[in-house]
Amino acid sequence: MSQQALEEFLAESEELLEKLNQDLAVLGEGVDSGLENPDLVNGIFRDAHSFKGLAGMFGFNDIADLAHHLENLLDNLRLGKIDLTNSLVDCLFDSLEGLAGLVRGKAENPDFTQDISSYLARIEHLLNGPPVEQEDPLSELNIASSLLDVLTEYEEHRLQTNLKQGHNILLLKVAFSLMTFDTELAALTEAVKQNGEVISTLPGSDNDNPEMLAFQILCGTEDSPETLGERLTIAEMCIDIVASAQGAVPLAMPAAASVEADAQPVPATAPTPGPETSAAIAIAATKETPAQDGVTARSLTSTVRVDIGKLDYLMTIVGELALAKGAIAQLCTDMQAQGVARARDLEKAIHALDRRLNELQNGVMDVRMVPVRQLFDKMNRIVRRMAQELGKKIKLDIRGGDTELDKLIVEDLTDPLMHIIRNALDHGIETPDRRAALSKPEVGTITLCASQRGNHVVIEVGDDGKGIDPEILRLKGVEAGLIAEEANPGRQELFSLLFHPGFSTKEEVSEFSGRGVGMDVVKNNISALSGLIELESEVGKGTLMSLTLPITLAIIKALVVRIKGTDYALPLNSVLETLMLEPGMVQTIEGREVMELRKQTLSLLHIDKLFQLQGDESQSGQFVVVAGFADKRMGIVVDELRGQQDVVIKSLGKSLSFVKGIAGAADLGNQKTILVLDVGGLISETLQLEGAVGV
Amino acid sequence: MKKILVAEDSSTMRSLIVATLEAMDDFDLFEAANGFEALRILPREKVDLLITDINMPDINGLELLSFVRTNPLYEETPVIIVSTEGSVRDREKGLKLGANAYLVKPFKPEELQQMVAGLLN
């Protein structure tokens, strides 16, 4: 198989897996709430079916086999032959995981395979469950055979289900122009779905008018034909009742139950009434349907899949364009200083270029953005499975799923977020018995909430579990030699112990505190994304973990500063203000330098001391850059403020990833590379060093 | 040049069918991602062959087939229905409605090519 074919397969599989995952999560919620969503089940069935076809075409027999079994199971579910239960949803989730594992394996090596017999056996077991009662024949209904003949088995089942639920079965007849039928029909279908279920849509030709297409729409609804007709407000539509809540309307029954909503005759463009329309009503609504809010069936096919590498390349080019523009602007300034005649015109042209460049940059940025919902939906499955394994009852409350983040950041967030949620589930939330004894609701809640704040996105993971006792952390910290026995650290400092690599993760700690298991890894992951992790907890009430992340890492505006003769870039989105240092402003408290800023104490950080820089002392420490991240503040002492610039941040590579306080390197355009400071990392380092002072 | 309309909601499956047909002969190929698109193309292009998946949302393959068979303009147009192994009843309904042939997914490219060659000649 060619590499290109394999990539196509992988891309499509990934899309299908993601969609299946989301839909299964919704399906799972339906088990508890008892809500039925036939469109959802049918959609999942079709996706499993597509998966099977896809794998078969590429010769991946193991995937095709598993997908085939899944499809069978879903087919039985959508046809009502088996019931929707928790164990069924679990089996679907697990099988999906099996499929994902196979796909991942093939990505590495197309010959990869693994044993799927346990999945197949589980599906077979469910398929062989007690059969659900047989359905009544539909032939007794008042439906023309021309319509019954085109119903798929699934549609027949939906018809039966609607009858069992006591819904009226109505047949809508309507004609639309060839030019506009798709939008009009999509709008009508959508409107019918608001009031019931569309079972089947049969297109037909209008023999009198070749410019029109006729449609018969079979639907199940609680509405009477009159009510539905009024709701739909579509001119020239004819609604027949095929079966009523009181029982099927037999063929050739006199039109006793029928209503003439309007004396207006059925227009010529409407389909010719057939023999089954004896109980028909004609509804001529007063309003013409507008081309409704862009509802169209076409939207699904308008997306393009792009390799993120290509977007990275575009972003780099945009960054380099910005640098080139900077160089031209510099030339222009020089020319103005020299009194060159047309320098002013050039300046105007540069401004115009700048605006367009900004638009281009925003456009490319926008393409990289994906909603965090993708990430949150993955968590749904983990919560579900872990809750079952641990015998806990947990509700996952997701908010702000539409918040957008750079695709690369979203990818790198998966593991840390998973870790945090596992911890919350395992150690945070109590068992149902324990919760009952504490008079808490039996079902624990984990909230997952994303929101945008300026140039950052904050993701919060909260639980209403037992919380973390700082006093126990203090004891453990002293025991581990991380804090002095006589020290009096603040809450935040104690919580930050949890992120310390050497902090004990032994059972007795997790029994009380619960956390600490690999949290240093989580912190490192978040720092690598120039993010900040914070924790707040209250004993007995729960814990809240906040991740503050930049929206993107690709291109940023930076403040260039000079410290001891070397230039550094500070991301502008974390710079709050800059101040000139006057003699006497700096005070020393407990050996740490601080200053007062608007009645608040601000910790000062000397980068030169932190990085052990030597050099020019003449201009030392003239300015303070007040940097903020989340709700933390810090003053960075610098020698000189050099100006603002757009920079494209490049990673320093894995071998230098241990260096604290540096987010990466950037090219300034004049063949000069400078280091970009990691403000979030510096703040949390300072925090850990200084404890509760000044933040 | 013969015109063929492929109606299939799975984009990969659709492009595979199209690629199989392209490898066979110079056809004028039309693609529809759902029943709506197929209905848009049918009156505009007098196609020589329709290949349709049965299980599509909104307007399914059987409904599309019935539309073709009840319209004098297309009633002679050959139709291949594509279905899965499990959906025997749907397939039988399709044949009863007048499909000329059926294809079970997953199929071999030669299978489709032979079928198309047989129906177009």
Over residues B11-15, mean pLDDT: 80
**Mean predicted lDDT score pLDDT of chain A:** 79
Give the CATH number, domain containing residue A158.
3.30.70.260
In what helix (H) or strand (E) does residue B103 lie, and over which residues does it extend?
A: strand B101-105
- CA A248 to CA A362: how far, in whole Å? 60
Which domains does chain B show, CATH number per domain? 3-120 (3.40.50.2300)
Q: What confidence score (pLDDT) does residue A663 get?
A: 81
Q: Is A150 on the interface with B (CB under 8 A)?
A: yes
Query: Is B73 an 8 Å CB contact of chain A?
Result: yes
A232 and A379 together in one domain: no
A72–B105: do the CB atoms touch at under 8 Å? no
Number of residues assigned to chain A: 695
Cβ within 8 Å, pair B62-A53: no
> Is the same domain home to A320 and A432?
no
pLDDT band for position A131 (cuts 50, 70, 90): low
| A306 inside domain | no
pLDDT interval class at A516 (50, 70, 90): very low
DSSP state of A205: E
Judge if A577 and A534 occupy the same domain: no
Looking at the fold, whether A365 and A384 belong to one and the same domain comes out as: no
Task: Tell me the mean pLDDT in the region B62-81.
Answer: 90
Average pLDDT score over residue span A223-235? 81
Whether residue A273 lies inside any domain: the answer is: yes
In chain B, DSSP finds a helix count (H) and a strand count (E) of 5, 5
What pLDDT was estimated at residue B55?
A: 85
Is the pLDDT assigned to residue A458 strictly greater than 60? Answer: yes
Q: Are residues A383 and A364 in the same domain?
A: no
Q: Is A80 among the domain residues?
A: yes
Q: Is the pLDDT of residue A515 over 50?
A: no
Q: Judge whether residue A537 has pLDDT over 80.
A: yes
pLDDT of A282 above 60: no
Q: What is the mean pLDDT of residues A373-399?
A: 83
Point out the residue among A55, A152, A202 whose CB comes nearest to the CB of B54: A152
pLDDT surpassing 80 at residue B34:
yes
Chain B residue at shortest CA distance from A216: B63
Is the per-residue pLDDT at A246 higher than 70?
no
| Range with the poorest average pLDDT among A277-281, A460-464, B15-19 | A277-281
A chain contacts of residue B57, beta-carbon cutoff 8 Å: 42-43, 46
- What is the average per-residue pLDDT within B65-82? 90
C-alpha A294/C-alpha A544 separation (Å) is 41
The mean-pLDDT minimum among A149-163, A290-304, A467-481, A581-595 falls in A290-304
Q: Which of A370, A397, A416 is the last residue of a domain?
A: A370
The per-residue pLDDT for A264 is 40
Lowest-confidence segment of A60-64, A140-144, A685-689, B106-110 by average pLDDT: A685-689
pLDDT score at A1: 63
Per-residue pLDDT band at B5 (split at 50, 70, 90):
very high
Residue A558 is predicted with a pLDDT of 87
Residue B36 parent element (H or E): helix B35-44
* Same domain (yes/no): A540, A565: no
Q: For the residues A4-21, what does the mean pLDDT come to?
A: 84
pLDDT digit string (tens) for A318-337?
Answer: 877 887 888 888 889 889 99
Q: Is the pLDDT of residue A266 over 70?
A: no
Last residue of one domain, picked from the residues A336, A370, A404: A370
pLDDT for the residue numbered A288: 38
- Contact by Cβ (8 Å): B85, B103: no
Instruction: Answer whether residue A296 is part of any domain.
Output: no
Q: Are residues A193 and A156 in the same domain?
A: yes
> Is the predicted pLDDT of residue A517 greater than 60, yes or no?
no
Indicate the range of A387-391, A473-477, A505-509, B6-10 predicted with least confidence: A505-509
In a domain, A304, yes or no: no
Specify the residue for token string 């919350």: A424
- Is residue A342 scored above 50 in pLDDT? yes
How many whole angstroms separate alpha carbon A679 and alpha carbon A676?
9
Test the B interface: residue of A150, A153, A155, A208 with most B CBs within 10 Å: A150
Amino acid symbol at A373: R
> Are residues A539 and A399 part of one domain?
yes
Half-sphere exposure in the Cβ direction for B69 (13 Å, CA): 20
CATH number reported for the structural domain that contains residue A24 in this entry: 1.20.120.160
| Residue A121 shares a structural domain with residue A156 | no
To the nearest whole angstrom, how far is the Cα of B14 from the nearest Cα of chain A? 10
Other CB atoms within 10 A of residue A643 CB: 9
Instruction: Say which residue, A648 or A67, is predicted with more confidence.
Output: A67
Chain B residues with CB-CB distance to A53 below 8 A: 10, 12-13, 84, 105-106
In terms of domains, do A545 and A596 share one? no
Q: Distance between CA A434 and CA A464 in Å, rounded?
A: 13
Same domain, A661 and A577: yes
Residue A190 counted as domain residue: yes
A496 and A598 housed in the same domain: no
Q: What is the pLDDT of residues A145-193, one digit of tens each?
A: 788 888 888 888 888 888 888 888 889 988 888 888 888 888 888 888 8
Percent of chain A with pLDDT strictly greater than 90: 12
pLDDT score recorded for residue B15: 82
A632-638 and A600-606 strand pairing? parallel
**One-character DSSP codes across A265-322:** PPPTTSPPP-GGGGGEEEE--SSPPP--TT--TTGGG------HHHHHHHHHHHHHHH
Residue A482 · residue A499 · CB < 8 Å? no
Task: For chain B, say whether A14 makes contact (Cβ under 8 Å).
Answer: no
List, for residues B81-120, the tens digit of each pLDDT value: 998 766 788 888 899 899 999 998 778 889 999 999 999 9
Residue A317 has pLDDT above 50, yes or no: yes
| Number of domains into which chain A is organized | 5
Q: Considering only A3-7, A104-108, A525-529, A556-560, which range has the smallest mean pLDDT? A: A3-7
Query: Once rounded to an integer, what is the mean pLDDT over residues A370-387?
Result: 82
Does residue A445 form part of some domain?
yes
Q: Say whether pLDDT at A412 is over 70.
A: yes
CATH (domain of A389):
3.30.565.10
Rg (alpha carbons) of chain B, rounded to whole number: 13
Range of the domain at A164: 145-283
- Kindly report, residue by residue over A655-690, the tens digit of the pLDDT: 776 777 888 888 776 667 889 888 888 887 776 655
Q: Which residue of B has its CA nearest to A46?
A: B55
Are the CB atoms for A570 and A679 separated by under 8 Å? yes
Does residue A288 form part of some domain? no
